[in-house]
Structure 1
Amino acid sequence: MKLNLKVFLVGAIMVTTLANAQIGTRFPSERKIVTDPVTGTELIFLTSTPAGDSKIYPTHPQWTADGEWLIFRSNRVKGEAMAVNEETGDLVQVSEGGYSGMLNIAQNSMKLYYMRNVEDVEEGDWGKNRSLEIIETDLAQLFADSEAGTMKSAETYQRVVGVTPKEIGAGGDMALDAGEEWIYFRIGSEEAAKHLPPDVEVEENFGPRNMGAGPGGIAKMNIKTGEIEHVISVPFQVGHIQSNTWNPGEIIFSWETGGKSPQRTWTVMADGTGLRPLYPEADYEWVTHEAVISKDEVAMAIMGHRDVDIEEQPLEESTTSTAVRNPENPGQETSWGPSGTREKPTGLAIVNLRTREMLIAGQTSEGSGLWHVHGSPDGRWAVGDDFSRSLYLIDRNNREMKMLTTGHKVTAADHLHPTFKPDGTKIQIQSAMLSEDGRSMNIVVVPVPEEWLERTYPNKI
């Protein structure tokens, strides 16, 4: 009994310590290399315990400016962001006081930016009637002091850039401009309506998830002064906001419906000029998961996941949608319209922001087709996952496609969400391969095969 009590007390102390862990707290390395049993690819698991890890969305950078650390979300310390060193596996807590929405890693400085609730958000009040702080974290000083064991108070590393007024309904989906002088973020429909021209017709919901209705909008905050300016209002619900991390003042965003949109991808400049569809899509095209991959290019998926003859599926008692939502093969509801079949070209599409030319880099021969997509900034590689949680690499010079890894469990809490490292040698994913419950994910780095890296071409892209 005494032994059990001792174990209980030690466990309770550990839980309390983790729950109150401070910024800079370090955790033991979990780094291990696992060989994919199907493809033989060596997978670098930077985390390997069931601690509720998830990577930053593929629309945003994953690595710090020095290329040494990946920042991610985790329940190791609930509500706080974590960093892991790619080479050593060292784990460090990089926020204190919580965060809201997207984590933004600067690419020209060792800084991290995110939003944080100023006060508790009441249930059902998400995205409106609240104020948010935008926080800047000095990662260079934080990592140095954490390694030296000389951590100071959180205020030493975290600076409040500014606070959003309640009335603009700021949301946590935000992006850091390439010039690192402005932060872009979503605003509420009431604020967006104030800036929408009176002759613009507001869009209604689209599709079975009852999302997409407008208006929506984007504002920006100056990192030095905290000044807030309006960027653009549009007649639909704004989804993912991302910046072109090579070109200051260039924004990419989406019309969010939870599935197929009438016109998914959009671009606008930071001063509100140049609003246009990034890729003008047809009714039969299901465009999704756009991600800026280089100075001039955006990757996106044109889905080919639906049968030509789509039959209405029966309702489940647990849903009010027009058809059952299948997590292993989503988007089958007929109310999405005629899109998503392979009667027209589908696959991993890449759009040039300057010439507006679109090309299909590749597509799987069966299954759902490529879903979440990305590419290397040097133009050599593209990468995509599919509904089976398999990962495919594409050589853009000769269109060769190779499955890098599979078996990451369709029961996982989320999808692989591949993102290239800026040097084009590695891809980060999130995986439930090691999870006993089939859901909890880990942070994984997948190297581009050495024989592919050694390839040379007489006419490079």
Structure 2
Amino acid sequence: MTKNRLDLIYSTVLCAFLMFPALADAQIGRRFPSERKVVKDPVTGTMLTFLTSTPGGDSKIYPTHPQWTSDGQWIIFRSGRVPGEAMAVNEKTGDLVQVTEGGYSGALSIAQKSMKLYFLRNVPVPTPAAAEAGTTQPARRRNAPRPMQVIEVDLARVFADSKAGKMQKPSVYQRVCGTTPESMGASGDLALDGGEETVYFRVGKEESAKYLAAGTKIAEAFGPRNMGAGPSGIGSMNIRTGALKHVVSVPFQVGHIQSNPWNAGEIVFCWETGGKSPQRTWTVMADGTGLRPLYPEADYEWVTHEAVISRDEVAIAIMGHRKIPGTENTGVNAPGTAVSGANPGQEADWGPSGNRSKPTGLGIVNLRTREMTIAGQTASGSGLWHVHGSPDGRWATGDDFSRTLYLIDRHSREMIELTKGHKETASDHIHPTFSPDGTRIQIQSAMLSDDGKSMNICVVPVPEEWLKRNYRK
């Protein structure tokens, strides 16, 4: 068979493989009936807006990333309504629209200066021999490196054509910004830079090792989840040209890569172990300079769930979820739950950290001054766990192991429970994230689920009387 003929078959099989998920009933722009419901919290009285309310396998984007589109009208989320595809819901109307076709991998990153969505997508590559035989390549080992595409979605066009009922082929809405080579081992938490010309992603061990100084001690796995070993790193791609760069390598496992949406070229990430890390939070600039711990932590501190919340600030949780040694039989600090999995991080292998013999709570770290303040903490139980804050600096929020959502006034330090009853049996935690204008908080909740597990997208308002508060500067 001629080379041209072989190339044609190769290209045809590749295109067919890439387009396989694009079935007639799973197309970008597909609309679903509104499920929007307003429900009164039976304990706190807060009016909760459930934007989805059926068991569709919904989950919100992680709190490290924006949730709302730049026009403030749509929330992007993950869902099983169309397996492997992302959805959008209009906060006012409840309209549900499929916004990807062909699948995505890892984080969904929403632009805040344009109506665009970015994500990674696996590139299946059939070998020429397999293409000639009409089959794809043999199955790879799990988590083996592979080429990855960075995809851009024109959300404005998707929403307009979907509303008009005149959708076109997927390539009209989805653009391939570039492709990473298999050797790079790209994966994970794609984050769009604040300048919206670059995306960041995790780089594999082999690629990261090339950039480490000779003699660098590589971290071993830390804790009972056997995670955290290095090396790892961060790479970047210019979304206009597809040009690739290596940002930084570190001797441990990188996780939770996020950008500062207000400050171009600034990255925050973590040492990921699945629990307590020797040094959890890190920051670096896009050119690889300025690598340092964001909040230098002590052995007794269990720091987790960092999230950039404003131009100069990052929220962190300093956990107080474990009993103080010697108080096991006194009831002091007991989280008090019988639900399996609802009270994690109790294994002795995590070390001595995470109890309230030292200060704990929702910390706010200033990226410029490096000062940290504690915004608040629950009186007992696990303490605040997943944390966030409003960009204007007025409010902070956090959840705990009971899936209760708390609101903190950063000026007065007053703290209230906003909503409860989101079921400790839920398939995930509620993961609060503030809206850009600081007036509401998005969570994921199993409150409405019959099985106590399936989750829905929910928006919780900041109380009107709080929004009316004024403070002299």
Residue among 267, 270, 273 paired with 1:251 = 267
Residue by residue over 1:188-247, the C-alpha shift from the partner in whole angstroms, topping out at 9 and shown as x without a partner, is 111100111112111111111111011010000010011110000000000110000000
**Which residue does 1:354 correspond to in 2?**
368
* 2:127 is equivalent to residue 113 of structure 1: no
3-state SS of paired residue (1:456):
coil
Counterpart AA for 2:35: E
Tell me the TM-score normalized by structure 1: 0.91
* 2:239 is equivalent to residue 223 of structure 1: yes
Structure 1 residue 174 displacement after superposition: 1.2
**Which residue does 1:342 correspond to in 2?**
356
Matched-pair identity in % = 73
Residue among 215, 239, 248 paired with 2:255 = 239
> Is residue 31–residue 95 contact of structure 2 (8 Å, CA) maintained in 1?
yes
Structure 1 residue 179 displacement after superposition: 0.5
> Is residue 19–residue 77 contact of structure 1 (8 Å, CA) maintained in 2?
no
Counterpart AA for 1:382: A
Residue among 8, 23, 38 paired with 1:33 = 38
Structure 1 residue 326 displacement after superposition: 5.0
> Is residue 311–residue 334 contact of structure 1 (8 Å, CA) maintained in 2?
no
CA distance in 2, matches of 1:272, 1:448: 38
> Is residue 68–residue 86 contact of structure 1 (8 Å, CA) maintained in 2?
yes
> Is residue 310–residue 334 contact of structure 1 (8 Å, CA) maintained in 2?
no
Residue by residue over 1:166-205, the C-alpha shift from the partner in whole angstroms, topping out at 9 and shown as x without a partner, is 0111113210001011000001111100111112111111
**Which residue does 2:16 correspond to in 1?**
none
* 2:102 is equivalent to residue 97 of structure 1: yes
| Pairs aligned (count) | 431
3-state SS of paired residue (1:144):
helix
Structure 1 residue 18 displacement after superposition: 8.4
After alignment, is 117-126 or 424-433 more displaced? 117-126
Gaps of 5+ in 2: 1-20, 126-137, 329-338
> Is residue 18–residue 77 contact of structure 1 (8 Å, CA) maintained in 2?
no
**Which residue does 1:303 correspond to in 2?**
319
**Which residue does 1:328 correspond to in 2?**
342
* 2:19 is equivalent to residue 23 of structure 1: no
Residue among 186, 207, 225 paired with 1:170 = 186
Structure 1 residue 21 displacement after superposition: 1.6
> Is residue 326–residue 332 contact of structure 1 (8 Å, CA) maintained in 2?
no
Structure 1 residue 17 displacement after superposition: 11
**Which residue does 2:309 correspond to in 1?**
293
Gaps of 5+ in 1: 1-15, 313-324
CA distance in 2, matches of 1:307, 1:260: 15
**Which residue does 2:428 correspond to in 1?**
414
- Do the aligned partners of residues 19 and 58 (structure 1) sit closer, same or farther apart at CA in structure 2, a change above 3 Å counting? farther
* 2:203 is equivalent to residue 187 of structure 1: yes
> Is residue 177–residue 248 contact of structure 1 (8 Å, CA) maintained in 2?
yes
3-state SS of paired residue (1:24):
coil
Residue among 88, 97, 105 paired with 1:83 = 88
CA distance in 2, matches of 1:337, 1:155: 51
3-state SS of paired residue (1:218):
strand
CA distance in 1, matches of 2:367, 2:197: 22
**Which residue does 1:125 correspond to in 2?**
142
CA distance in 2, matches of 1:212, 1:336: 13
3-state SS of paired residue (1:412):
coil
Residue by residue over 1:286-331, the C-alpha shift from the partner in whole angstroms, topping out at 9 and shown as x without a partner, is 000000000000001000000012899xxxxxxxxxxxx9511100
> Is residue 375–residue 419 contact of structure 1 (8 Å, CA) maintained in 2?
yes
CA distance in 2, matches of 1:97, 1:268: 33
- Do the aligned partners of residues 311 and 163 (structure 1) sit closer, same or farther apart at CA in structure 2, a change above 3 Å counting? farther
